[in-house]
Amino acid sequence: MFVRIHFTHGMITSLDCAGRRLDLTNPQVMGILNVTPDSFSDGGCFTGLPQALAQARRMVEEGAAIIDVGGESTRPGAAPVEAQQELDRVAPVIEAIRAELPVIISVDTSKATVMREAVALGAGFINDVRALREPGALAAAAEARVPVCLMHMAGEPRTMQDAPHYADVVAEVKAFLAERLQACAAMGMVPERLVVDPGFGFGKTVTHNLQLMRRLDELLTLDRPVLVGVSRKSTIGSLLDRPPEDRLAGSLALATLACRAGARIVRAHDVAPTVDALTLCHAVYSAQ
């Protein structure tokens, strides 16, 4: 059952992202900026700095509150890249965005060295699909003192879709995220800087993804803001028989359902229509 969400008592209403405030009283859109040659939907589109900056500018104009810069593809079957190569991809983009645009910059990485350098260059948010499990990542995130999103992923991108299995996907994802929140607390990270993401499509079948969406509100008992990334994902393609470029309607439907269930940040390729959808959803369910 979906519930109407009110941010009172222990629920935080904003994140301090390196001096820039992210308002969580309304659902916010995180614009995806992959500066990779092999991401599943937009790989190769923004590998040049002028193209990447133009796309960031466009997403800010369309209403993105955060720009998520990623230099390593995490699509199913993706091969890993070395830290220096990833840093060479994201560092110039982060510097350029920071210099020109009044927007929160997120770095989509699992590597400690990339986290440290990206934050030093102006990133105010760390988005880690491996939930700070890589060597040194937990310490690097703690030192950075910026908000961090902890995502659930079963396995690694290269193998995560090889027959994933759960007895209860929602309970197991929730338990994993709770454990990672505890690990962060043990490292001295304050809960007010932590966000959770169930990891739609990361080591999950279509049925698992549907179960997660239907019971997404159960993650709210972790008392952390929930981030959701469903944009153009393969579950939509499987159910609607659409290629990635034709999955906008499905992406908006899932984004709206996530907003209704209490997600506060939605990661999206198509910023303007996602902003519109979330604005209307929030207006309906926050109306007195």
Catalytic residue among 89, 174, 232, 267: 267
DSSP 101-163: --SEEEEE---HHHHHHHHHHT--EEEETTTT-STTHHHHHHHHTS-EEEE--SS-TTTTTSS
DSSP 8-state secondary structure symbol assigned to residue 80: P
SS3 270: coil
What number of other Cβ atoms are within 10 A of residue 240's Cβ?
12
* Alpha-helical regions (H) of 187-243: 206-214, 234-240
**CA-CA distance, 9 to 29, in Å (whole number)?**
24
Active-site residue flag, 267? yes
Instruction: Write out the two tokens for 224.
Output: 């952390």
Catalytic residue among 232, 233, 260, 264: 233
Catalytic residues: 233, 267
